[in-house]
Amino acid sequence: DQQVKQNSPSLSVQEGRISILNCDYTNSMFDYFLWYKKYPAEGPTFLISISSIKDKNEDGRFTVFLNKSAKHLSLHIVPSQPGDSAVYFCAVTNFGNEKLTFGTGTRLTIIP
């Protein structure tokens, strides 16, 4: 029973345009949300996070939006660059809990 779902296994976006990656979770008790990025033959690396007391967090070209009522998380990348081509995982947890539950991942391809 998947608690965290990323319904798009892959996404292709033109360089310079906006990339939007989506993530849905089932348990409303989760209160801390993260995005990780993974290149081939490397481990995932942290990208950005947000707590449930916020609905938006920005870091440069990356913005994460949280819609608690819909139990939906999204990552916006603007503008998209070729180096953004990777697999993106969303992850959820609770404050004080070191365990993360990951989604299935979305492979983003930026087309030059």
Is residue 49 a contact residue for another protein (CB under 8 A)?
A: yes
Of residues 13 and 34, the one with the C-beta less far from another protein: 34
Is residue 100 a contact residue for another protein (CB under 8 A)?
A: yes
Which residues from 52-71 bind another protein, rule CB under 8 A?
Answer: 57
Question: Which listed residue (35, 105, 108, 110) binds another protein by CB under 8 A?
Answer: 105
Is residue 89 a contact residue for another protein (CB under 8 A)?
A: yes
CA 78, 79, 80, 81 torsion: positive or negative? negative
Of residues 1 and 112, the one with the C-beta less far from another protein: 1
- Is 56:64 a contact under the CB 8 Å cutoff? yes
Residues near 1 by beta carbon (within 8 Å), at least 6 away in sequence: none
And the tokens for 70? 């819909």
The mark string for 6-45 relative to another protein (x by CB under 8 A, - otherwise) is x--x------------------------x-x----xxxxx
The Cα angle at residue 29 between residues 24 and 33, in degrees rounded to 5: 50
Q: For 37, list phi and psi in degrees, rounded to 5.
A: -120, 140
Query: Of the candidates 92, 80, 86, 90, which has an alpha carbon nearest to the alpha carbon of residue 107?
Result: 86
Which residues of this protein are in contact with another protein, per CB under 8 A?
4, 6, 9, 34, 36, 41-46, 49-51, 57, 89, 93, 95-96, 98-105
